[in-house]
Amino acid sequence: MSALSELYQEIALCQQCEIAKHRTKVVPGEGPEDAEIMFIGEAPGWHEDQQGRPFVGPAGKYLDELLASINLKREQVYIANVIKCRPQGNRDPLPTEILNCRQWLERQIELIHPKMVVTLGRYSMALFFPGKSISKIHGTALKQDSIIYFAMYHPAAALHQQSLHQTIQADMIKIPSLLAQTDGIAETKPQPQQLTMFED
């Protein structure tokens, strides 16, 4: 069994948060173990909770379209979320839920070691660009430990707000050239907050 499959089994046993009791299925994430790009959304919604797969509802359809715009299929990338269980009523994730789930995401990144992590939305962005505002930093990248982190709006935000359509599409098409230049991009000096990002 692959290390990633073993991790999925561990995630499926997790009962650290109250929301674990209410989930239909846990949504650990999916994609190739050697994916070059990892997209990280916020949390499973109703469709994802039903199927145990990330981004399979309307936001997922839109993500598929965005991927197609850069000639990628979802099978070629890794897709995960900040939290692995659906918050009831699609509320925002709680800080304790993000903290409890952080270990899983951290291990996914370690195992996959993507060249690029694309954060989708504010919650995902906050893990890698702490203290920043999405309206200011979407479409920008930083490099740490040889991984490029690139911030984008959440596809659901663009579905609800027509004015973000062009923005999210313009950000998406920056991905191939960033990926091609990974070696040439200088490491960003970690800020104190970034150093503590994955500590308990």
Which residues ranging from 11 to 30 are in contact with ligand URA (CB under 6 A)?
Answer: none
| Span interacting with ligand URA, options 15-23, 47-55, 110-118, 172-180, rule CB under 6 A | 47-55
Task: Look up residue 39 and give its amino acid.
Answer: F
For the beta sheet containing 116-120, the strands, ordered from the edge strand earlier in sequence to the opposite edge, are 78-81, 37-41, 116-120, 147-152, 141-144
Shortest CB 168 distance to ligand URA, Å:
14
- Asked if 49 is part of the footprint of ligand URA (rule: CB under 6 A), the reply reads no
Shortest CB 55 distance to ligand URA, Å:
4
Pick 82 or 175: Cβ nearer ligand URA: 82
- Asked if 59 is part of the footprint of ligand URA (rule: CB under 6 A), the reply reads yes
Residues 6+ positions from 122 with CB-CB distance below 8 Å: 42, 134, 154
- Select from 148, 151, 153, 150 the least CA-distant residue to 167: 153
| Span interacting with ligand URA, options 9-17, 36-44, 142-150, 162-170, rule CB under 6 A | 36-44
Side-chain-side CA neighbours of 115 within 13 Å: the count stands at 15
Residues 6+ positions from 48 with CB-CB distance below 8 Å: 27, 54, 55, 56, 57, 60, 81, 86
- Asked if 101 is part of the footprint of ligand URA (rule: CB under 6 A), the reply reads no
- Asked if 87 is part of the footprint of ligand URA (rule: CB under 6 A), the reply reads no
Shortest CB 187 distance to ligand URA, Å:
28
Residues 6+ positions from 91 with CB-CB distance below 8 Å: none
Interacting residues toward ligand URA by CB under 6 A: 41-45, 48, 54-55, 57, 59-60, 81, 156
